[in-house]
Amino acid sequence: MTDMSLFLSSPAIDRLIDLALEEDLGAGDVTTQALIPEDLQGEAHIRAKENLVVAGLPLTARVFRKLAPEVACTPQVEDGREVEPGTVLAILTGPVAPILTGERVALNFLQHLSGIATYTKKMVEAVAFLPVALVDTRKTTPGWRSLEKYAVRLGGGRNHRGGLFDGVLIKNNHLKAVGSITEAVRRARKSAPHTLKIEVEVSNLTELEEALNIGADIVMLDNMSEADMAKAADLTLGRALLEASGSMTLERLPLVAATRVNFISMGALTHSAPAVDIHLRLIKTWS
C-alpha cells in the first residue's frame, strides 16, 4: 500500500475503536457523570511531552466522534511529523464530558502508534547511509496490524506482508512438513498466483544454494552471522533479493546492512517499541 489513507480505511479499525471504548466505558463513566454538567463546554490540548514522530491523530478524532459528534478535534500537525516537547498536536473543543471520557482511549492509540513511528525512525537512521530497507513483520498486536504498519511507514520503515494472503513465505516448519526447499518452491509455483513473490527462509549457505537453484525470488537469511550474510551476498550475485532476519538490535543493524542484503526485517519495530509520553489537558471551560 502506498497511499497512507488506505491503512486507516479498514472497517476493522472502527471495530477496534468500539472495542476499546466498550472496554473502558463499560456501563458509563461514573466519575464524569457525577462531576461534569452536560452543558459544560471547553477546550483541551493534546501535547507532546518528549521528542517523537506523530502517528495516530486521525484515530484521535474518530474516538471523540464516536462519543459525541459535537467534539471538534483540530490537528495542529500532520501524522509523520517529528515534534519537540511542548508541541500541541491537536485542539479539542466542545462538551467537556465526552472529552474527559474519551481521553484515555484516544491517548492509548496516539501514544502507542507514535511510539512505533518514533522507534522506527531511530532504527532507520542507523542504516540510512547504506542501500538497505528496514521492514516490519507480522509480529503485531492482534487487531492492530494495519495501524502498526501505518506507524512503521510514518517512521520511514517499509512493510513486509500484510498477512498470509499477499505473499508466499516458506518458513522452517513448512520445509519440515514438505521435505525440501526444492519441493516447497515447486508446489508454491504450481498453486500460488503468478503475481506473488516466493520467499524462502534458510539458515545456512547450503540451503541458500538450493533456494537459488530452484528460483526463489527472495531468500530470508534467518539468524545468520554477519560473516555468513556477506558470503550469501557473494553467492547470490543478484539472482534473488536477500532479507536478513533474527535478533536485530540498534547496534547490530549497521553491521548487517554492510553485508549487502537488500532488506532487514525487525519484529521489534511493532512488538517492542515503547509508547511515547503525550498528555491531554483541559485549558478552559464555559457554559
Q: What is the DSSP string of 161-192?
A: -SSTTS-EEE-HHHHHHHS-HHHHHHHHHHHS
Would you say 243 and 218 are in contact if contact means Cβ atoms under 8 Å apart? yes
139, 187, 189, 252: which one is catalytic?
A: 139
Would you say 154 and 79 are in contact if contact means Cβ atoms under 8 Å apart? yes
Residue type, 176: K
62, 65, 66, 104: which one is catalytic?
A: 104
Predicted pLDDT of residue 7: 77
Q: Which residues of the chain have pLDDT under 70?
A: 1-3
Predicted pLDDT of residue 3: 63
**Known active-site residue 222:** yes
Would you say 157 and 264 are in contact if contact means Cβ atoms under 8 Å apart? no
**Known active-site residue 201:** yes
Q: Count CB atoms within 10 A of the CB of residue 220.
A: 26
**Known active-site residue 145:** no
What's the angle, vertex CA 286, arms to CA 78 and CA 56, rounded to 5? 20
Counting other chains too, the contacts that 205-208 makes at CB distance below 8 Å and 24 or more residues apart are 205/231, 205/232, 205/235, 207/181, 208/232, 208/235, 208/236
- Angstrom distance (rounded) from CA 62 to CA 9: 12
171, 183, 234, 281: which one is catalytic?
A: 171
- Name the H helices within 51-163: 57-67, 96-126, 145-154
Question: Which grid coordinates belong to 76?
Answer: 495542529
Entry pTM = 0.95
- Cα end-to-end span (Å), the chain: 46
**Known active-site residue 47:** no
Predicted pLDDT of residue 6: 72
**Known active-site residue 149:** no
Would you say 237 and 219 are in contact if contact means Cβ atoms under 8 Å apart? no
29, 103, 148, 201: which one is catalytic?
A: 201
SS3 73: strand
